[in-house]
Structure 1
């Protein structure tokens, strides 16, 4: 019989793998839409960016959300997370001179079992 700690570790590993698969699915969708993927799981002082992508002069900070339903996934970006992603994106713009002049945008890619991933560009601050 597994100990409670062993069960949590096992669950954490499977969640971690599912998160990585979700990010790869999101990246594939974005590339089909013409985005260039610049990075995965980028760490900044403000927080972690799941996917950093560029299309034209737009720099998109992509948050990947996988939930039981598509509606839950689309509503999963809280306003505090939005602010943290915005700060992380601004930090990337400051650190990479090659991105100067790009417009920063916060996007979400929502995933749910049995549903095609949805990309929602330009999320608003007021999400809760």
Structure 2
């Protein structure tokens, strides 16, 4: 395996760990996890939502970011990534939300030895 493959594999493992921690955190806050790692589209049009969660009438499509130090979290989210999450959420909203539900894009930022930071309404198109 080449070095790039190892780095991708390590990033995937950390991503899975971060998503698991974020799901646990949200469940402790009263959210119910509806889905994990939902993908839509192909090629350059692919979008992914890390977690889809519900609490009451609110359905949140959550982008999870795990970084090795808390300072790196400030640069973890960018407009391009959030736009892709929003496109994916829009494509799959019919699977998770009812007509009277409120939907939004959230983010959970994680770093070792720090409480998760839950940012609500992180993206408004």
Indicate whether the TM-score tops 0.5. Answer: yes
Residue 71 of structure 1 deviates from its aligned partner by 4.2
2:59·2:96 contact (CA, 8 Å) conserved in 1? no
Please point out which of 6, 16, 21 is paired with 1:10.
6
Aligned residues: 121
| 1:39 Cα offset (Å) | 0.5
- Provide TM-score, normalisation by structure 2: 0.83
Residue of structure 2 equivalent to 1:60: 60
Would the aligned equivalents of 1:82 and 1:125 in 2 still touch at CA under 8 Å? Answer: no
Work out whether residues 59 and 104 of structure 1, in 8 Å CA contact, stay in contact via their aligned partners in 2: yes
Question: How high is the TM-score relative to the length of structure 1?
Answer: 0.82
Partner of 2:121: 122
Q: Is the 8 A contact 1:65 1:74 kept in 2?
A: no
CA RMSD of aligned residues (A): 2.1
Q: Shift of residue 83 of structure 1?
A: 2.0
Shift of 1:26: 0.4
Select which of 14, 17, 22 maps to 1:21.
17
Q: Please tell me whether Structure 1 or Structure 2 has the larger radius of gyration of its CA atoms.
A: 1
Offset at 1:29? 0.2
Shift, 1:116, TM fit: 2.1
Contact 1:74 1:108 in 2 (8 A): no
Aligned twin of 1:86:
86
User: Unpaired segments of 5 or more residues in structure 2?
Assistant: none
State the Cα distance separating 1:90 from its structure 2 match.
1.7
The answer for unaligned runs of 5 or more in structure 1 is none
